[in-house]
A and B are shown apart, each in its own frame.
Chain A
């Protein structure tokens, strides 16, 4: 998936990935896509929850060898 920006949260545990995502998304324009790299499995449940509450769109989560690429579109 194509992203406008990438945020590296490898090695970070909850709540840092969502805290950094919230912060990073402020820099993006509406409609732009942020790619979040993470290796804390909690992200699989947390990012959808975060998107539901904040109203941003979760485009998908790709998993590969214990690492996750999460795509969020700013609404």
Chain B
């Protein structure tokens, strides 16, 4: 094969369904021998926040934001039919029913296949979230130049 192809995914959304889709594409691309980078920004940071413990931040507004927008792969909602959690619970049940891996498993699998996770420092700054809020799988903390430098070398760039 020629030079290794690469894929960059911007995960802007913190919706469960969109995150599942992003990870499916990432795993598929990695299976096809491509290098994959996932840039998590804005609500997408919720996908890679750790599920345990609380998120510390300074100031009343940021504390409120991080209380209401706690995040973590297990807390994400469907973009449709969340229905106070009932719809999301049902969708997870349906997925289990057909042996479809949950988001947590997809994250571990993607990481195992060499997918790179990058968290956006600007969003982290605005929201007042530190590095300790994230899962250890996150490779680096960076900004738009890092994304663009990789995106210009990639044939496939998606904004999710």
The chain A residues found within 8 Å of chain B, CB to CB, are 11-16, 18-19, 21-23, 50, 53-55
* 0/1 string, B19-37, CB within 8 A of A gives 1: 0000011011011111000
Decide: A15 near B98, CB < 8 A? Known: A22-B32, A50-B32, A53-B32: no
**Cross-chain contact A19 with B99 (CB below 8 angstroms):** no
Question: How far in angstroms is the closest Cβ of chain A from B149?
Answer: 24
B113, CB-defined interface residue at 8 Å: yes
B100, CB-defined interface residue at 8 Å: yes
**Cross-chain contact A14 with B31 (CB below 8 angstroms):** no
- Distance of A21 Cα from B27 Cα, bound (Å): 12
The chain B residues found within 8 Å of chain A, CB to CB, are 1, 24-25, 27-28, 30-34, 98-101, 109, 113
Q: Which residues of A contact B109 (CB under 8 A)?
A: 19
**Cross-chain contact A16 with B101 (CB below 8 angstroms):** yes
- Distance of A50 Cα from B25 Cα, bound (Å): 13
**Cross-chain contact A11 with B98 (CB below 8 angstroms):** yes
Interface contacts beyond A19-B30, A19-B109, A22-B33: sample of 8 additional A-B pairs, CB < 8 Å, sorted by A:
A11-B98, A13-B98, A14-B24, A14-B28, A15-B31, A19-B28, A54-B32, A54-B33
Residue in A closest to B2 when the chains form the complex, CB atoms: A55
A-B contact pairs, 24 of them (CB 8 A): A11-B99, A13-B99, A13-B100, A15-B24, A15-B25, A15-B27, A15-B28, A16-B101, A18-B31, A18-B32, A19-B30, A19-B31, A19-B109, A19-B113, A22-B30, A22-B31, A22-B32, A23-B31, A50-B31, A50-B32, A53-B34, A54-B1, A54-B32, A55-B1
